[in-house]
Amino acid sequence: MANGSEKLFGNVLNGLDLGVGWKINATLVSIIRKDILRYLDAERDVSVIKSNFKPGDTIRYVLDRRRTFSVSQTLHSLLPEVSPLKNKTFKTCAVVGNSGILLKSGCGKEIDNHSFVIRCNLAPLEGFADDVGLRSDFTTMNPSVIQRVYGGLREETQQENLIQRLRQLNDSVLWIPAFMVKGGMKHVDTVNELILKHKLKVRTAYPSLRLIHAVRGFWLTNKINIKRPTTGLLMYTMATRFCDEIYLYGFWPFPKDASGNPVQYHYFDGLKYRYFSNAGPHRMPLEFQTLQRLHSKGALKLTTSKCT
């Protein structure tokens, strides 16, 4: 299927061009927005809403169709009444990935100055404010974070740590892809119960059952073969719906920077790189190359160096 942005992704761009001379290409931004809208509408797909389900409904996991979960009373009570992005538009949005390339970037102020800031997987901000900022309007949380960072919430201190982190979000959006793979709901139910018990103000959202397929469909049609888009790419794809200008930070899936210095996988922990073999679920280098092309055409701005 030919579409307006196909040509764009067909071009190969070598090397990384930095921010110098970068200019937004508003025409291209609007072509991409229209193309993506043929696959998904972030206003609708960003979250299921209360009227979609009843407590007790049995749902199949999106990427694991043989497994099901039941919509609990707790989950149902935390589903938004309407889309958290209903009628929203923003002049500039930041999508902040979690690469160690952010360390010593000094990008915190610039990130916080955008009209809407999206962050991934509940990454810590305390202690990193100069480089990553503090503002969060929309924060994602894969259920796997509950196991990896909060020890499955088995102990009280782990629960307290999570509650403390969620309090920092105030009444911004917490986006939980709960319905993707089996076992997701187990952790999410525990988190949801904590949110209710501690009367946390955070606004929960749970992506639609079709979101990931729709995002994959858009990129596939543009010959970008990504089986499992990363959270970062999902966020960029959704942001095209409501942001006039999109600025990406913390996207650098490589162990060395452009000068050959080591770069941590995450800016906040010692997790190792996993995405160079085909064993991992993602194709981050391919995604990065695609974002780089979009940067060079002015469709988005990808910052991979220090902010001035």
Active site residues: 282
Binding mask 237-276 for ligand CTP (x = CB under 6 A): -------------xxxx-----------xx----------
Q: Which residues pair with 249 in a beta bridge?
A: 96, 303
Instruction: For residue 217, give both structure tokens.
Output: 């469909």
Q: Tell me which residue of 138, 110, 101, 143 sits closest to 261, measured CA to CA.
A: 101
| Nearest residue to the partner ligand CTP, using Cβ | 232
Residues 276, 260: Cα–Cα separation, whole Å: 18
**Out of 47, 99, 105, 190, the residue judged to bind ligand CTP by CB under 6 A:** 99
Rounded Cα distance, 96 and 251, in Å: 8
User: By CB under 6 A, is residue 120 in contact with ligand CTP?
Assistant: yes
Nearest distance from C-beta of residue 142 to ligand CTP, angstroms: 5
Q: Does 292 bind ligand CTP (CB under 6 A)?
A: no
At residue 203's C-alpha, the angle toward residues 53 and 109, to 5°, is 145
If binding is defined by CB under 6 A, does position 218 make contact with ligand CTP? no
Distance CA 229, CA 237 (A): 10
Collapse the DSSP code of 128 into the 3-class scheme (helix H, G, I; strand E, B; otherwise coil) and give the result: coil
Q: Taking CB under 6 A as the rule, which mask of x and - marks residues 160-189 in contact with ligand CTP?
A: ------------------------------
Query: How many residues bind to ligand CTP according to rule CB under 6 A?
Result: 18
Distance CA 150, CA 124 (A): 12
Tell me the window of 7-15, 58-66, 76-84, 95-103 that interacts with ligand CTP (CB under 6 A).
95-103
The rounded distance, in Å, linking the Cα atoms of 28 and 49 is: 32
- Told to check if 69 binds ligand CTP by CB under 6 A, we report no
Q: How far is the CB of 95 from ligand CTP (least distance, A)?
A: 9
Is there binding between residue 230 and ligand CTP (CB under 6 A)? yes
Question: Largest Cα–Cα distance in the chain?
Answer: 55
What residue ranges bind ligand CTP (CB under 6 A)? Answer: 97-99, 120-121, 142, 230-233, 250-253, 265-266, 282, 284
